[in-house]
């Protein structure tokens, strides 16, 4: 069984949080609303690993295990309310987000190694 998960790049999450902070829900007696922030686009975990492998230039050492109790085959965020209320649409494709993250991570760790 192929498992799928929803991955959201941090810049998209921050954009969404800012939009929700400046938006007061209409037709409500409370000045807040709870939203599910995500990408609304599940990706197979094997595809996710392949994207990381390409971005890092390394091959993952995968150990395929059976699903554990409580695992679900697919999860993803329902962002319909975000799109309707604050016009939020995640815009960072998985490969771009992973590439940016890997670049940041490698630069951050290089700084840590150099300052040690």
| CA of residue 104 relative to chain centroid, distance | 16
Give CA 34 to chain center in angstroms. Answer: 18
Whether the pLDDT of residue 28 is over 90: the answer is no
Instruction: Output the CA–CA distances (angstroms, integers) from residue 30 to 20, 35, 84, 96, 107, in the order listed.
Output: 14, 14, 18, 37, 43
Q: How confident is the model at residue 29 (pLDDT cuts 50, 70, 90)?
A: confident
List the domain boundaries for the chain. Answer: 4-115
Reply yes or no on whether the pLDDT at 110 is more than 80: no
The predicted pLDDT at position 113 comes to 60
The tens digit of pLDDT for each residue in 51-72 reads: 999 999 999 999 999 999 999 9
Q: How many CB atoms lie within 10 A of CB 101?
A: 14
CATH placement of domain 4-115: 3.40.50.720
Say whether 4 sits in a helix, a strand or coil. Answer: strand
Rounded to two decimals, what is the model's pTM?
0.81
């Amino acid at each position: 069984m192929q498992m799928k998960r929803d991955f959201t790049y941090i810049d998209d999450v921050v954009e969404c949080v800012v939009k929700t902070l400046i938006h007061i829900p209409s037709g409500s007696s409370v000045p807040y609303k709870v939203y599910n922030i995500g990408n609304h686009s599940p990706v197979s975990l094997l595809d996710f690993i392949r994207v990381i492998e390409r971005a890092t230039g390394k091959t993952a050492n995968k150990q395929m295990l059976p699903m554990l109790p409580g695992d679900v085959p697919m999860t993803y965020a329902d962002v319909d309310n975000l799109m309707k209320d604050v016009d939020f649409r995640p815009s960072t494709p998985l490969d771009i987000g992973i590439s940016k993250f890997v670049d940041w991570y490698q630069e951050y760790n290089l700084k840590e190694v150099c300052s040690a």
